[in-house]
Amino acid sequence: MSVPSDNPLAGSLDGQLQAFARAGSSRDFSAGQVIFSAGDPGDGFYLVEAGSVQISAAVGDNEPRVLATIGPGDFFGEMAVLDDAPRSATARAAAETKVRFLSREELLQLLDLNPRLALNLIREFSRRMRAVNQKFVREIISAERLAVVGQFAGTIVHDFKNPLTVISLAAELACGQKTSPAARDKAKLRIMRQVDSMTSMLDELIEFTRPSGRQLALARTDFALFLVALMDEMAAEISERGVILEPGTPPAGLDVRIEPKRISRLFQNLIYNAVDEMPEGGKILLHYAVTDTELRVDVEDTGKGISPAIASQLFQPFATHGKAHGTGLGLSICKKIAEDHGGRIWAHSEPGRGATFSFTLPLGR
């Protein structure tokens, strides 16, 4: 396999390879003709004199893919010279092409006569291997991103089906001529709840796609005042599901530097996650610890705890752990928010007790 140079055979290597023009044999190939195939014996080395050659290989699901195009003055087939192994790729003339072919023995004789040429060829081989590595690292990263987008698309489409079905049925009921005012009000409430659910999922997508490490709009915030208002609002919501929120007494007069909206989401995700794990009801308790540099918050619940089988995957995207709803992004978003603020987040669970999620925030001072 070969990757062409930005400036093919520049410098001293370009001049030294002119020796190839006086060695080996000339071969002509018509457009589309195979020069060698993957798996063929690695019998030598080619220098393109005119035309162009495409190097391709089967990747992924064994679909052939063009890896490089070799033009005049550049060479290919060098890996067979180095490792004395079968060809790893296929070379095909992309146009009417003329090449200079040197067998392995002819090339080795030429290198014996010109040690500097051997050194420069090794440097060029090394540069090409680096280029190949960088190319495939970029492609792997791109493929992983596409896989994440595809996985999220599948998740979000699946999770939107239920709310849309409820909205459709409720709207049909509300528009019925014989529907009573009370039934219309109930249908309206159901629609509003489902719209809120869909909005929440879209908010998670927006949060998940925020670039990590971006410049935050931090505000110096009195932590106790911020938390009391947030907990009062959340306590009323989750009490309807039989869960009691005990926020304790947050440290007074303590300043933190935060984006309030994002830290609110961190608390919401952790607390709603705990509520989901306690369908029969329970308690959520908050604890605090302060050091010279940071504030630690523990969110403890009285649920069944964390299964050892999923403990290592808690903060991975799309890990829903058997939940009937949700995008599976909640805890990965928590991790992202904590780390963007310069903090940390982790979880632990003891036998016979619920789960505790802990995170830290740097102090404002």
User: In a 3-state reduction of DSSP, which class is residue 174?
Assistant: helix
CATH fold of 219-362 reads: Heat Shock Protein 90 (3.30.565)
Contact 92, 34 (CB under 8 A): yes
Looking only at the bridges linking them, the beta strands covering 282-290 and 90-93 are: unpaired
pLDDT-based confidence at residue 166 (cuts at 50, 70, 90) = confident
> Model confidence over 127-153: pLDDT tens digits?
766 766 676 666 666 666 666 666 666
Distance CA 115, CA 259 (A): 63
Structure-block tokens of residue 42: 């690695």
- Is residue 243 classed exposed, middle or buried when 0-12, 13-18 and 19+ CB atoms within 10 A define those classes? buried
For residue 361, is pLDDT > 90? yes
Distance CA 186, CA 232 (A): 26
> Model confidence over 273-284: pLDDT tens digits?
899 889 899 999
Top mean pLDDT of 90-99, 142-151, 166-175 is at 90-99
List Cβ<8 Å contacts ≥24 apart for 162-165: 162/325, 163/194, 163/195, 163/197, 163/198, 164/194
Q: Within 13 Å of residue 345, how many CA atoms lie on the same side as its CB?
A: 22
Looking only at the bridges linking them, the beta strands covering 282-290 and 75-76 are: unpaired
Greater confidence, 84 or 72?
Answer: 72
For residue 10, is pLDDT > 60? no
Full-model pTM: 0.52
For residue 29, the Cα-to-chain-centroid distance in whole angstroms is: 43
- How many other C-beta atoms lie within 10 A of the C-beta of residue 99? 27
> Model confidence over 48-81: pLDDT tens digits?
889 999 988 876 556 777 888 888 888 888 776 6
- Terminal Cα distance for the chain, rounded: 57
Q: What is the DSSP string of 15-57?
A: HHGGGGGGSSEEEEE-TT-EEE-TTS---EEEEEEES-EEEEE
Please report, for the chain, the start and end positions of each structural domain, with discontinuous segments joined by +. Answer: 12-113, 147-208, 219-362
Q: How confident is the prediction for the chain on average, in pLDDT?
A: 80
The matching CATH number, chosen from 1.10.10.10, 2.60.120.10, 1.20.1250.20, 3.40.50.150, for 12-113 is: 2.60.120.10
Nearest to 54 by CA among 84, 80, 34: 34
